[in-house]
A = this chain, B = another copy of it.
């Protein structure tokens, strides 16, 4: 097997993108995650101003993320549209508790919103940040990745699009190499993986603005306290289950947060990290102190397999 060379990949890819796109315009939904951002930049390099990047604010992003992503895109001279779709997304989550149903609902809303923008811009080609692990796991039925339409039997033409997936043959470390080679800031190329449906997968049970706010706060605390660990992925999950606790000397039937910190290279397998207890206890203390409704913190000690990295 030949060693992966980012430079060679990029050269070949730029040519393929140009051939595939022709003189059409292209739209790319960029969430700020490594995959979609690298894909956006690669296509921008190939077709320049014929690309419009779209950031959809679904209300499910991490603290400060919408502003961060839009700033990065604009700094690099990419035409960018910011779409506030928070209300629409929370509406479709109402009453849904099943993980797969939530993923499907997210996907449907995502393509509806993106479709509207594409129509306004009169664009028919959509860029997807699909990578190899997404394809493998979707085909295997381990999860339905929201950006692997064809593999799950959805003809993208039904939505009226042609799909462009420049990273579909790459694993995560190769995507990062491409990002570095393209000169992306380390904040992007070294970014932790973050799923398309975002914090909705990390709120077990019904997704509401209040519950997303709790998991967003917990996520920020976990990220702050684990910066120096250099792990593949660090995040928080809000349970639907509740547990008893004691706050202000009184019984509180409160929320439970799980902390998940894993090592992995490609997300296909992963190992729970042996995080020093000092750090774990500090995280638990901060979360239960700074988020009044939370009375209990758990640490996920399962590898993938038999677990997955995310809970949903």
Residues of A within 8 A of B (CB): 99-100, 140-143, 204-205, 239-247, 249-251, 253, 258-259, 272, 274, 277, 280-281, 283-284, 288-289, 295-308, 310-312
The smallest C-beta distance from A38 to any residue of chain B, in angstroms, reads: 26
Q: Report Cα–Cα, A272/B297, bound state, in Å.
A: 11
In the complex, the 7 A-B pairs of residues with the closest C-beta atoms, listed nearest first: A298-B298, A246-B305, A243-B311, A274-B277, A288-B306, A142-B251, A284-B301
A-B contacts, 27 listed (Cβ < 8 Å): A140-B249, A141-B250, A142-B246, A142-B250, A142-B251, A143-B244, A143-B251, A204-B241, A243-B312, A244-B308, A244-B310, A245-B305, A245-B306, A245-B307, A246-B307, A246-B308, A247-B305, A259-B301, A280-B301, A284-B302, A288-B307, A295-B302, A295-B306, A296-B307, A298-B300, A298-B302, A299-B299
Number of copies: 2
**Given A205-B241, A245-B302, A298-B301, 7 extra CB contacts under 8 A:** A141-B250, A243-B312, A246-B304, A277-B301, A281-B301, A284-B301, A298-B302
Q: Evaluate contact between B302 and A296: CB separation under 8 angstroms.
A: yes
